[in-house]
Amino acid sequence: MSTDAEMAIYGKAAIYLRKPEKERIEAQNKPFDAKSACYVADAKELYLKATILKKDAGKVTVKVVGTEEERVVKEDDVCPMNPPNTDAEMAIYGEAAIYLRKPERERIEAQSKPFDAKSACYVTDVKELYLKATIIKKDGGKVTVKVLDTEEEKTVKEDDVCPMNPPKYDKIEDMAMMTHLNEASVLYNLKERYAAWMIYTYSGLFCATVNPYKWLPVYDQSCVNAYRGKKRMEAPPHIFSVSDNAFQFMLTDRENQSVLITGESGAGKTVNTKRVIQYFATISVGGGDKKKEPSKFQGKDVAE
């Protein structure tokens, strides 16, 4: 269901509540350079959009968008600009990007899929556990459904049918954000993300990991740098995000932090523990441009 169709229920108020889908898609296609795009402080307008030309000893030369005026300002007077689309934002993750977040094109296509919230559902299945289906009719505690893949019609108990989330929630990064939070929706979301090799998924305060049993390029230096200093919701789900948040809380609150890694045998506990240690070791010796971080890791021994 597209955003425009979804907004139709708001009537005339829709245009005052959310920008049209066409405008949003156009914004997604605009070129964007995350390294140079910025805002610069201005006495009259407060802030102006600009492009960074060069940096030198605490000074930054920028070109104001619109007027093409060049200015030399203090580094503190320049703020980074958010990208107009997800794909541009994901460039900092390098080759790991496709394993962390679905492409913007796929997300937009999901918005345009037809969807009937009253009939779309999951139905229990002995072999597959749950199957996507459409409700045909309800009668006295019984529900007749048509399975999407096979077109087979089944009559099942009402308790064996679960509501389905709209397509915009497909492969959602935080399952706590789902409209319908049920077992079928959770399992399908994990399955679809796993099929795209997106092995990390948030569920409220937790980060669920499904062992891929293969090497994925999501632990290199560029990926470590991309997660540095970011809040949890500012980056895709990852064990590095969990690690960085624990590290930042330790620096801010001056208190010990814990990362609990649990799961069945073979789930990937040891590997993820190693990734936590890798992250701490890398940021403690890497230094980088992040401010207010010590040159050495301030923490006690990390052990599984």
Please state the residue numbers annotated as binding site.
263-270
Name residue 270's beta-bridge partners: none
| Feature table: binding site for ATP | 263-270
3-state SS string for the chain: CCHHHHHHHHHHHHHHCCCCHHHHHHHHCCCCCCCCEEEEEECCCEEEEEEEEEEECCEEEEEECCCCCEEEEEHHHEEECCCCCHHHHHHHHHHHHHHCCCCHHHHHHHHHCCCCCCCEEEEEECCCEEEEEEEEEEECCEEEEEECCCCCEEEEEHHHEEECCCHHHCCCCEHHHCCCCCHHHHHHHHHHHHHCCCCEEEECCEEEECCCCCCCCCCCHHHHHHHCCCCHHHCCCCHHHHHHHHHHHHHHHCCCCCCCCCCCCCCCHHHHHHHHHHHHHHHHHHCCCCCCCCCCCCCCCCCC
In b/e form, how buried is each residue of 229-261, taking b as 16+ CB within 10 angstroms? Answer: beebeebbbbbbbbbbbbbbeeeeeeeeeebeb
